[in-house]
Structure 1
C-alpha cells in the first residue's frame, strides 16, 4: 500500500505591504507542517528559482523542476481573483506566466514519486518587484478645442504606443481597447500598421452617422516583451478618446460615366458631372476620405509632368490621398461631365465644388469607380478602407 505524505513549505519573496495583508519579508519558514525525520523533504522533490533568491522581478516566471523520481502532477495558482488550476504540459518542469509588477501569488505544486506513489505538496508564495520600464499610449482622433466638432463616417481611429511593440505582444495590447457607438459595443478589429501604431475599423462599412464613438482601455500592467537582452515594459494607466460622427455623407464618382452623386444618411441629395484623370494620369478607383479642406490651393506641374507647364490657384480643394489627389473646382476644364482630362484629380465645376466645400467633414468617404487603376492601401488615412474586412480582421499583427 502506498504511503501518502503532504508537506508544505512556504517562501515569501520580497517586501510589499498589501491592503488587508501583512508585510512579506525575505525569509524561509514552515507554514503548516513541521516535517519530522520520516517526512519527505520538499527540497528533495523539486527545484525552483526561488530557493536562493529574495525576490523575482516583474516579468520573470516562477519555475519548478522535478527531481527524479518525482514528477509534477498538478499546479494550483492563487491570486486575488481566486484559485485556478494551471496546465501542466510536462511532468518534469513547469513555469508560470510572466509575473506582473507587484503581483502577490501563491503556488501549490502536487508532486508524486513515480516509483513509490508517495505524494508531497510544495507551497510557495511570491511577490514580484515593481515595474522599472513603462510605456504609455495615445488614441486619436479626438475633438480638440480648436478644430472639427465632428467627423465623417470614414474616420479611422488609431492607437500610438510610446515604445516599439514586438509581434508577439501586439494582439494582447489592442485586445484591451474596445469601441462603443452611442454606448453600444461595436464589433470591429485592430490592424497593426507598424511597430508602434494600430488602426481600428468597425466590421461594417464605415461608422454610423450621428453617433458618439468612444474607444477606451486599461493598459495597467499590460506587457511588452523585451526580447533577448531587453527588459519587459509595462503599461501605465488608461487610454480613451471620444469623437462624434456627423451625418453620413458619401460622395460617389464614376469615371466611366463622368458623373457623380452624393448621399446623406442613405438618401441621394446631389448629382453632378466630373472629369477625372486622362490617360497617363489615371485617377485611382477605391475608397478615399477627405483629409484636408483648403479654400485656395496652389497647384503646379512640378512632380506631375514635364511636358506641360501650369501654375494654378485652385478653388475649394479637398485632399483625398497623400500623393496629391484632390477633389476640387476646375473652372478652366470645359470637359466636366463629358470626358476625363485632368492630371489625376477629381475635377468639379466651380459651383459644385463650392457646394461640397461648405458641407464636407474630415473623414467623409469618397468612393471612385470605373477608372481601371486601384487605390493603394497605404495612400492616406482613408486608404485603409480598401483592405477587405475579412483580411483586415485576419491579420492581427
Structure 2
C-alpha cells in the first residue's frame, strides 16, 4: 500500500555566494590610484557578471566616471577613468542578497564599505636616471637617488598603487622563484626595513643592506632601493593606494592584477573587461 502524500516537499537552498575580500578596508584613507577590489570565494560565470556589477553600487561625494573590470572569474575591480579627486568620499554598497553567480550559488547578504581619498602623494621612478621624484598635491617635495632592477632581474615599468607597507619584511630569493639554492650567487634571505609593497610578485620600495648608497647602478632583483634615511622618510608618508610609476625599465608594465596596477590598463582596455560599461558614480 502506497504511503499518503503529505503535500510537503523539501526546500532546496542554493549554496552561498561569498566574498573573500573587499579592498580597501571600511573607513580607510587611501591614495588617488586605489581601486575598489572585490574578490569572490568561488568563480563567477561570465553570464552572471553584468547582474553582479549592477548590484555593486558605487557612490561618490563628487561625480566620478569609472567602471568595473573583471581580471578573472573571482576578482573584479572598480577604478575611475583617471585618478580619484582628492577628498572624495566613496561608498560601495554590494547588495548581493539573492544575486546568482551563474554556477548555482546566490548571495546571502549585503556588504558596505566606505573610504576616503587622501592627499595626492605620488612617486616617479626613473630607472636610467637613478632617481625617484615625489610629489604632494602636484608639488615636488623630494628627489632621491635610487637603484632599480638589474638587466637580469629588471623592475616592472608602469604605475602600481601601493598595496600596503611594513616596517620590516623578510625577503628571500626562494619566495620570488629566483633560486632556493644557498650556493647560487643570486640567493638571498634578508629582513629589510621600511618596505612599501608594490606587486604581489614581490616588488617593494625599501632600504637594502646590500645597496646602502643607491643612485649609481641597477643591481636589485627588481625592487627600488633607497638609502636608509630616504626609505624611512618615504615609509612615513606613503599610504595604500598612492601611485608609484616606474619608467625606463626593459621589463614592461606589471599586469593590472599584480597587486593594484589597475592604471597600467588604458581606459579602452579597462572597459573591454566590464560587463556594464562606464558609469558616473
With normalisation by structure 2, the TM-score equals: 0.80
1:358 aligned counterpart, secondary structure: helix
Q: Which residue of 2 aligns with 1:154?
A: 33
Shift of 1:383: 2.3
Query: 1:222 matched to which residue of 2?
Result: 99
Shift of 1:334: 5.7
Output aligned runs, 1:87-106, within 5 Å: none
Alignment match, 1:180: 59
Query: CA separation in 1, counterparts of 2:49 and 2:142?
Result: 44
Is the deviation greater in 370-379 or in 280-289? Answer: 370-379
Higher RCO, Cα 8 Å, sep 6+ = 2
Residue in 2 that maps onto 1:255: 127
CA contact (8 A) 1:331 1:349 kept: no
Map of 1:43 onto structure 2: none
Give me the whole-angstrom Cα distance separating, in 2, the residues matched to 1:370 and 1:388.
19
Q: Secondary structure at the match of 2:29?
A: coil
1:140 equivalent to 2:22? Answer yes
User: Does the residue aligned with 1:391 lie in a helix, a strand or coil?
Assistant: helix
Counterpart of 2:148 in 1: which secondary structure? coil
Residues 379, 158 of structure 1: alpha-carbon distance in 2 compared, 3 angstrom cutoff: closer
1:195 is matched with: 73
Matched, 1:394 2:272: yes
CA distance, structure 1, for counterparts of residue 156 and residue 41 of structure 2: 34
Whether contact under 8 Å (1:176, 1:218) holds in the other structure is: yes
Q: Which ranges of structure 1 fall in alignment gaps of 5 or more residues?
A: 1-129, 227-231
Report whether the alignment pairs 1:338 with 2:210: no
Q: Please report how far the alpha carbon of residue 395 of structure 1 lies from its aligned counterpart in structure 2 after TM superposition.
A: 2.2
Long gaps (5+) in structure 2: 1-10, 276-281
Contact 1:323/1:379 (CA < 8 Å) preserved in 2? no
Q: How far off its partner does 1:331 sit? A: 5.1
Match of 1:271 among 143, 146, 161: 143
Counting matched residue pairs gives 259
| 3-state secondary structure, aligned to 1:296 | strand
Post-superposition CA distance 1:202-221 (Å, at most 9, x none): 111x3222222111243354
In structure 2, relative to structure 1, the CA distance for the partners of 1:218 and 1:309 (3 Å cut) is closer
- Tell me the residue number matched to 2:238: 360
Distance 1:287 1:170 in 2: 27
Contact 1:249–1:264 (CA<8 Å) still a contact in 2? Answer: yes
How far apart in 2 are the matches of 1:163 and 1:313? 35
In 1, are the aligned partners of 2:256 and 2:265 still within 8 Å (CA)? Answer: no
TM-score normalised over the length of structure 1? 0.58
Is 1:327 the counterpart of 2:205? The answer is: yes
Deviation of the 1:396 alpha carbon: 2.4
Q: Which residue of 2 aligns with 1:295?
A: 167
CA contact (8 A) 1:210 1:248 kept: no
Larger radius of gyration: 1
